Amino acid sequence: MATLSFSPLKPNTLFSSFLFPSKNLSSRPIIYTLPHRNTPPLTFSAAKRPPAASATNSSSSVTVETVSPENDANSTVFVIRARNRTGLLQVITRVFNILGLSVEKATVDFEEDYFVMTFFVTDSRGNKIDDQKSLESINKALIDAIDGDDDAALSVAPPDRGVVVRKPRLDFGERKGQAERMLGLMDVFLKNDPISLQKDILHHVEYTVARSRFSFDDFEAYQALAHSVRDRLIERWHDTLIHFKKEDPKRVYFLSLEFLMGRSLSNIVINLGIRDQFADALSQLGFDFEVLAEQEGDACLGNGGLARLSACQMDSLATLDYPAVGYGLRYQYGLFRQVIVDGFQHEQPDYWLNFGNPWEIERVHITYPVKFYGTVTDEFLNGEKCKVWVPGEMVEAVAYDNPIPGYGTRNTINLRLWAAKPSDQHDMESFNTGDYVDAVVNRQRAESISSILYPDDRSYQVALQLNDTHPSLAIAEVMRVLLDEEHLSWHRAWDIICKIFSFTTHTVSPEGLEKIPVDLLGNLLPRHLQIIYDINFNFVEELKKMIGLDYDRLTRMSIVEEGAVKNIRMANLSVICSHTVNGVSRLHSELLRTKLFKDFYDLWPHKFQYKTNGVTQRRWIVVSNPSLCALISKWLGTEAWIRDIDLLIGLRDYATNAELHQEWKMVKKVNKIRLAEYIEAMSGLKVSLDAMFDVQTKRIHEYKRQLLNILGIIHRYDCIKNMDKNDRKKVVPRVCIIGGKAAPGYEIAKKIIKLCHVVAERINNDNDIGDLLKLVFIPDYNVSVAEMVIPGADLSQHLSTAGHEASGTGSMKFLMNGCLLLATADGSTIEMVEEIGQDNMFLFGAKAHEVVALRKKGPTLKVPLQFSRVVRMIRDGHFGFEDYFKSLCDKIEGTSDYFLLGADFMSYLEAQAAADKAFVDEERWTKMSILSAAGSGRFSSDRTIQEYAENTWDIQPCRCPF
């Protein structure tokens, strides 16, 4: 995740490529034909601006003057002086067209950073405009459009790709009357009473979904419902954007490669405050809101915690009224759909767009060319040598807007996702030469840029899309725009770069830092590589002045890594160019300062901060656990905690209240019933509601140690098998639930999934075990499945080797839902201990500072006999597939046990025993559960975003009035 914030420059002067539009300026005269019908060519000249009285907007650099030319008695001349920006001419001519005015002639002069534009204008009848009131109104309309319409300036496509809307030619008085009528018609918001909602839904059934309002199914009802909700969402979205333009606050641009949004309907109607109204309206039509909500597919545009974090932070940005825009990629295929066949993971495409996405608005007129390959040449501009990138290939980035509403506010911000489309520049030539096949192939190549979220991570062709530090390329891109297109000096451009970027890293080890091979980057983005080399040269030269010729340190801190394969260290680039470097938990920040970026911290200690990650309570309690939401509101006597989650601490006052205990247990039982029904429908396995639902759901990875969990389950199974009947009566029954996806190229992770299935096959069909132990693997784990699993969990396991998890937002979601945690002292768990107390968690394992020493012991490190026994059971084929699991066993025995499963195994078993003991004491367990939820307020993304806003971005809330 990267963030971009600034105030001195207009946002539209910076955005290029996927995020930033391109603009070419030239000092030589050119003719530019405006993309409007009946508009004459615009001549760029060196004429001087005539003096005259002016109308000026004091909040900007826009000046509009009306003059009376001596040589043209039939037209009125408007002289506009404004800072140059992309699309400015189109904005101005659009204003004239809307007002029914004709531009007979126009000239443009340059004054440093300003355009001075002179327009010779007549009314719709070809007459001069001399009415003073009309002139004042026209001047005001021009100033408002130029100074306020940022998106209009960003919404400029090439003339042959745009959509021209021809409006009736009215004189100014008629146009004013028309505008008043339109405002009168649109002055009332859509109503939310049952009759109005039903009418809207049925309207969309017939006119949007194109079905008969007398015959439509659940999915068609969902589509009509979604569009009805979207209508109301767009009202708030427009109001917010207009308010932001009027107030012109400093804004934050949130850049992330992934946004794991999941389903949107329930979250949106809750944030808009109209969930109950829609539910009542649908009930009267014979539909159930929850059933229709299930029809929505997941938008799986992310891999896991980082992607879901980005989605939570967008929700918090909107709720806290911050002026923000999110930017990412609109993948045609989301995270792959995981299919389990005979216990093996198979990946299938996630066709999430097959049935459309009602929440996005395609902006076909907002397209920007994105350049690749080619060469960089030297040219002279105003006597100075400059670099010119001549691309070898171009694609178009097309914008898709996704409104994100806040809770308890009218603010609705924008998440803009970009899709890659082929450039039409050479298509006609291809067809003219009969090269139809090549044209189609090129189109497919272009669209592949935003096709797949999670390709096999062994492929270098897609290396740029695989790491969460990918947005750091924006640094080189902004620098390119400022140097090559804005023609700023290097010093001025560098000063801007260092003020606008801040960097958040989620990496905990040097091996996890992104590197891009120089050969790849030089071939794909040659100009960007040059700029990175120049940044590095200047940095190293300055560094030598500060630390001398310490070549080891200079080598470590260089952006360019020399070696057999020459690489660009993207994290070093980000640290050097950002004004703030953020960790995502206190422990993670300590690792950054003392290990990962120690050299940089010693140089710039003021840059380093941390903001512990958080998740949004709107999604993870209100949407996913409505029963618990209602219960919390009842006992706190308010729903204000949904926006101000610190109020949850008030539950501590009732932690021993018997009535709350009873209601709390009932909510948990309802959620367990729902989860048990899902498990049975998914696998055919019936599970006992009296058992502890023990859950570990996250991406499958060695450091997350799902394997430790499975080894513990095997040990538990082995113990039960060797017990007599009397001892078995004392066993706490468990339903162990594991879910998560392995990266397509990660063979060890895939073997862990297979091991889980073969162990489950043995345990679940063993009559000696019965309901004492069940093991379930939930396939294709995603946001909507998580919304069902998390509320139903009694215990949640977070087993990462200490020092390997940057934060761990999954544990926060479980904590909010009153689930008890069994965890290592890693990531944000340490801070959770401070909030809820060690007595309310089950901690185990080596601490972060002990891990290095344990690894050094190597072969002398003794592991418990219990560990050796369960590994031997796997190795000897007790669960089958003896040869297949050999490499998996080799990874965790002897000196190969890098993630210390053997070293932590005994401590892990002790923590599990402590959990068993607590679970049989219902009063104690329920109290611990209440205290867990009560102490979860610190882990809301609202707090995270507020800290970023105050300490990193320096932005203020900009609340849209109701």
Q: What is the pLDDT of residues 617-675, one digit of tens each?
A: 999 999 999 999 999 999 999 999 999 999 999 999 999 999 999 999 999 999 999 99
Residue 321 has pLDDT above 70, yes or no: yes
| Region of poorest pLDDT, from 280-289, 349-358, 507-516, 839-848 | 507-516
Residue 30 has pLDDT above 70, yes or no: no
Task: Please report the beta strands in 239-356, taking only residues with DSSP state E, as ranges in sequence order.
Answer: 251-255, 259-262, 299-301, 324-329, 337-341, 344-348
Report the C-alpha gap between 938 and 139 in whole angstroms: 51
Q: Residue 508: its pLDDT value, please?
A: 87
| Region of poorest pLDDT, from 108-112, 737-741, 923-927, 946-950 | 108-112
Mean of pLDDT values over 389-403: 93
CATH 3.40.50.2000-classified regions of the chain: 617-937
The residue among 632, 662, 656 whose CA lies nearest residue 644 is 632
Query: In which band, very low, low, confident or very high, does the pLDDT at 41 lie, cut at 50, 70 and 90?
Result: very low
Q: What is the helix, strand, coil percentage profile of the chain, to 5?
A: 50, 20, 35
Report the C-alpha gap between 440 and 456 in whole angstroms: 25
Contact call for residues 316 and 942 (beta carbons, < 8 A): yes
- Average pLDDT over the chain, rounded to whole? 85
Q: CA separation (Å) from 216 to 201, 220, 463?
A: 12, 6, 45
Give the pair of three-digit tokens for residue 30.
């050119």
Q: CA separation (Å) from 915 to 504, 844, 902, 924?
A: 35, 12, 20, 11
Which residues lie across from 105 on neighbouring strands?
Answer: 120
Angle at CA of residue 910, ends 905 and 915, nearest 5°: 125
Which residues lie across from 515 on neighbouring strands?
Answer: 569
Q: What secondary structure letter does DSSP report for 732?
A: P
Strands 102-111 and 114-122: antiparallel
Strands 734-739 and 773-778: parallel
* DSSP, residue by residue, 827-878: TTHHHHHHHH-GGGSEEES--HHHHHHHHHHGGG----HHHHHHHHHHHTTT
Q: Residue 102: its pLDDT value, please?
A: 84
Contact call for residues 764 and 772 (beta carbons, < 8 A): no
Residues near 637 by beta carbon (within 8 Å), at least 6 away in sequence? none
Give the pair of three-digit tokens for residue 358.
């009602």
Query: In which band, very low, low, confident or very high, does the pLDDT at 45 lie, cut at 50, 70 and 90?
Result: very low
Angle between helices 901-920 and 865-875 (to 10 degrees): 100
| 193, amino acid identity | D
Mean of pLDDT values over 261-274: 96
Of residues 715 and 258, more confidence is placed in 715
The residue among 839, 794, 789 whose CA lies nearest residue 820 is 794
Give the pair of three-digit tokens for residue 636.
């706190």
What digits encode the pLDDT tens for the residues 548-566? Answer: 999 999 999 999 999 999 9
Q: Which residue is listed with tokens 């941390």?
A: 610
Q: Residue 244: its pLDDT value, please?
A: 94
Per the rule left: phi > 0, alpha: psi between -120 and 50, beta: everything else, 343 is left
| Region of poorest pLDDT, from 448-452, 684-688, 782-786, 798-802 | 448-452
What digits encode the pLDDT tens for the residues 743-753? Answer: 998 999 999 99
Contact call for residues 744 and 457 (beta carbons, < 8 A): yes
Residue 458 has pLDDT above 80, yes or no: no
What digits encode the pLDDT tens for the residues 680-734? Answer: 999 999 999 999 999 999 999 999 999 999 999 999 999 999 999 999 999 999 9
Element (H, E) at 252: strand 251-255
Which residues lie across from 504 on neighbouring strands?
Answer: 582
The residue among 907, 712, 696 whose CA lies nearest residue 819 is 696
- Torsion from C-alpha of 176, 177, 180, 186, nearest 10 degrees: -110
What digits encode the pLDDT tens for the residues 830-872? Answer: 999 999 999 999 999 999 999 999 998 888 889 999 999 999 9
Task: Provide the 10 A C-beta neighbour count for residue 86.
Answer: 23
Mean of pLDDT values over 146-165: 40
Residue 776 has pLDDT above 70, yes or no: yes
| Region of poorest pLDDT, from 84-93, 524-533, 605-614, 905-914 | 84-93
| Region of poorest pLDDT, from 33-47, 392-406, 412-426, 586-600 | 33-47
CATH 3.30.70.260-classified regions of the chain: 63-144
Strands 114-122 and 76-83: antiparallel
Length of the chain: 962
Per the rule left: phi > 0, alpha: psi between -120 and 50, beta: everything else, 507 is beta
The residue among 106, 105, 126 whose CA lies nearest residue 116 is 106
Which residues lie across from 222 on neighbouring strands?
Answer: none
- Torsion from C-alpha of 811, 812, 813, 815, nearest 10 degrees: 90
Residue 214 has pLDDT above 90, yes or no: no
Which residues lie across from 697 on neighbouring strands?
Answer: 739
Residue 195 has pLDDT above 70, yes or no: yes
Query: In which band, very low, low, confident or very high, does the pLDDT at 605 lie, cut at 50, 70 and 90?
Result: very high
Mean of pLDDT values over 602-626: 96
What digits encode the pLDDT tens for the residues 925-946? Answer: 999 999 999 999 999 999 999 9
Report the C-alpha gap between 426 and 433 in whole angstroms: 11
Mean of pLDDT values over 170-176: 56
Pick the most confident of 66-75, 224-233, 358-367, 379-388.
224-233
Query: In which band, very low, low, confident or very high, does the pLDDT at 469 lie, cut at 50, 70 and 90?
Result: low
Report the C-alpha gap between 543 and 841 in whole angstroms: 47
Mean of pLDDT values over 275-292: 96
Query: In which band, very low, low, confident or very high, does the pLDDT at 122 lie, cut at 50, 70 and 90?
Result: confident
Report the C-alpha gap between 54 and 24 in whole angstroms: 29
Catalytic residues: 506, 698-699, 704, 809, 813
Report the C-alpha gap between 257 and 252 in whole angstroms: 16
Of residues 130 and 682, more confidence is placed in 682
Per the rule left: phi > 0, alpha: psi between -120 and 50, beta: everything else, 333 is beta
646 alpha carbon, distance to own chain's centre: 25
Query: In which band, very low, low, confident or very high, does the pLDDT at 422 lie, cut at 50, 70 and 90?
Result: confident
To the nearest whole percent, how much of the chain has pLDDT over 90?
Answer: 67
Q: CA separation (Å) from 638 to 239, 656, 659, 962?
A: 28, 20, 18, 22
Q: Residue 9: its pLDDT value, please?
A: 32
Answer CATH for 63-144 from 3.40.50.300, 3.30.70.260, 3.40.50.1980, 1.20.1600.10 = 3.30.70.260
Superfamily of domain covering 617-937: Glycogen Phosphorylase B; (3.40.50.2000)
Angle at CA of residue 397, ends 393 and 403, nearest 5°: 170
Query: In which band, very low, low, confident or very high, does the pLDDT at 56 lie, cut at 50, 70 and 90?
Result: very low
Q: Residue 15: its pLDDT value, please?
A: 30
| Region of poorest pLDDT, from 168-172, 380-384, 410-414 | 168-172
Report the C-alpha gap between 257 and 328 in whole angstroms: 5
Which residues lie across from 70 on neighbouring strands?
Answer: none
Give the pair of three-digit tokens for residue 909.
């078993």
Residue 399 has pLDDT above 90, yes or no: yes
To the nearest whole percent, how much of the chain has pLDDT over 70?
Answer: 82
Mean of pLDDT values over 573-591: 94
